[in-house]
Structure 1
Amino acid sequence: MTGQAGEGSGRSIQSVFRSLKILEYVAGQRSPAGLTEISKGIGIHKSTAHGLIATMEKCGFMQQDPSTGKYSLGIKVFEMGQAYISNLDLRELALPYLKELSLTYQETAHLAILSAEEVVYIDKVDGSRSIGIRSQVGGRNPAHCTGVGKVLLSGLDERQIKKMYLDKTLRKYTRNTVSDLSGLLRQICQVRKQGYAIDLEEFELDLRCIAAPIKDSTGAVLAAVSISGPSNRLLDAKMSDTASHVIETAMKISIRLGYKQ
């Protein structure tokens, strides 16, 4: 059967189209939905909706609560989502967004993950105005005084952070470097509140960085994205707007990873 108007161009199988719309509708609800609600929600007859749902239920894509008769997504949807996420290459997925961020500011964009008390840069895109920044793909820098590092640490709880830095000294790289754990914890608390981290010449003089968290489908901080440049270009007056752009970039990548706002 050919698709109806509004169901996209080309030929489509109406029952498949409607089944997918049911899945999409149920996924968008905060609680299980009843048959009448679903049929009205996507604009099809109740009997048609029942037949499609029954078929999806047999295949594990829908499940019914026997006490209420309402429907929610089945385990197969979760399994397929996990399979999609597991096949994603974070670097490959994030690269277009890093390029866009770098192009916008003509500065260096980084993608980093946490390894103990250090960050590992897994990708880097230099802008046309980039200066010699002490980072390279596969390279490491301390987490406590870098923007990406503080963002990644914000994904841990206080107990985990204290354990990580137990019997370790916070090396002071510049006059701005935080060198005590209580100070670092205060900074990380602020990062969680505002949704981004700033490195104001804390690792290297005349170098600033703004970073935001990339989250996975569970909401856990998986990686960090940042823009870095000299202090005379990443100015205080523009910091808020730049931070908003970095946060937006991180969110776009997070959504591609299955994260829901």
Structure 2
Amino acid sequence: MQDNGTLASLKKAIAILNYLSSEPYQFTAIEISKALNINRSTVHRILSSLIEEMMVLQSPVTKKYKLGPLSYHIGASYLHSMGYIDEIHSIIENIAEKLSLSVGYAVKEGNRIMTLYEVEDYISVRMGYKPGSFYPIHCGAYGKTIMAFHKPLSELRDIVYSTPLEKKNERTITDPEALLKEYEKIRIQGYAISNGENAKGAIGVGAPVRNTKGEVVGCVAAAGIKASINQARLNEIKNTVIRGANKISSLIP
């Protein structure tokens, strides 16, 4: 019974840490309790333990909680464990500078899409994308690019049918069969285009990153304001993103 209680507390602690990683990144204990449906006294107890380990900090002024330095250290360790992260960052930085767009790199962990890098230093209107964010599988360049190449295809079908396909706007694909057809199109052409389906007024291009086995493990994507991108510009973005993805693929074991 004690083991079950320890496991339950661990899951609640992970849920709290995950919640603190969402905007606006600072919350009161009451807000955390209501959002996660966890008893307030339990929230306080878990937060106290996390503060002791410096995984969480509390503002002495607002009394709100936020992620602490140990959480950052753990996240940074995940990046550095890859061994080639500096090279990837350099490639993403070069693409962003060349295209003057928001450019990033995302990976698939389980069935979730997470960004590792986002560079917006060279774009006049920032898209607001942040590293460490999770993205949907059915809309946006990251999710569509990575999931289109998921294998086996029978498992991909199961994932699509078991995942809630949230409607972001009128362009979002929410029909499972339509999404599977979109994935097939992406596999054939070798890249994905997101045309305002995740963020209105934005357009993005994503290209797959493969390991030495040919498995798609990540995605390079560039995004900008649709009104400023004509077909010739879109072709330039596509070709540059594909070249960048191929460079990163050469680094992945």
Whether these two folds match at TM > 0.5 is yes
CA spacing shift, 1:226–1:160, aligned 2, 3 Å: same
Q: Distance in 1 between matches of 2:223 and 2:112?
A: 18
Matched, 1:241 2:236: yes
Larger radius of gyration: 1
Q: Distance in 2 between matches of 1:130 and 1:145?
A: 24
Counterparts of 1:39-188 in structure 2 under 5 Å? 88-157=82-151, 158-188=153-183
Cα displacement (A) at 1:198: 0.5
CA spacing shift, 1:144–1:253, aligned 2, 3 Å: same
> Unaligned stretches of 5+ in structure 1?
1-85
Q: Distance in 1 between matches of 2:252 and 2:238?
A: 21
Q: Distance in 1 between matches of 2:244 and 2:135?
A: 22
Q: Distance in 1 between matches of 2:132 and 2:202?
A: 20
Cα displacement (A) at 1:130: 4.4
> Unaligned stretches of 5+ in structure 2?
1-79
Q: Distance in 1 between matches of 2:173 and 2:248?
A: 30
Residues 214 and 223, structure 1, Cα contact 8 Å, conserved in 2:
yes
Q: Distance in 2 between matches of 1:91 and 1:217?
A: 17
Q: Distance in 2 between matches of 1:167 and 1:228?
A: 28
What are the Cα deviations for residues 128-155 of structure 1, in whole angstroms up to 9, with x where unaligned? 2243324211111212101111110122
Residues 117 and 165, structure 1, Cα contact 8 Å, conserved in 2:
no
Cα displacement (A) at 1:88: 4.7
Residues 135 and 142, structure 2, Cα contact 8 Å, conserved in 1:
no
Q: How many residues align?
A: 173
Q: Distance in 2 between matches of 1:120 and 1:88?
A: 15
CA spacing shift, 1:180–1:95, aligned 2, 3 Å: same
What are the Cα deviations for residues 88-109 of structure 1, in whole angstroms up to 9, with x where unaligned? 5343221111011100111111
**TM-score, normalised to structure 2's length?**
0.63
SS of residue matched to 1:166: helix
Residues 119 and 140, structure 1, Cα contact 8 Å, conserved in 2:
yes
Residues 106 and 220, structure 2, Cα contact 8 Å, conserved in 1:
yes
Aligned to 2:57: none
| Root mean square deviation of aligned Cα | 2.0
Cα displacement (A) at 1:255: 1.4
Cα displacement (A) at 1:195: 1.0
**TM-score, normalised to structure 1's length?**
0.62
Cα displacement (A) at 1:185: 0.9
Aligned to 2:196: 201
Residues 211 and 246, structure 1, Cα contact 8 Å, conserved in 2:
yes
SS of residue matched to 2:250: helix
Matched, 1:214 2:227: no
In structure 2, give the amino acid aligned to 1:188: Y
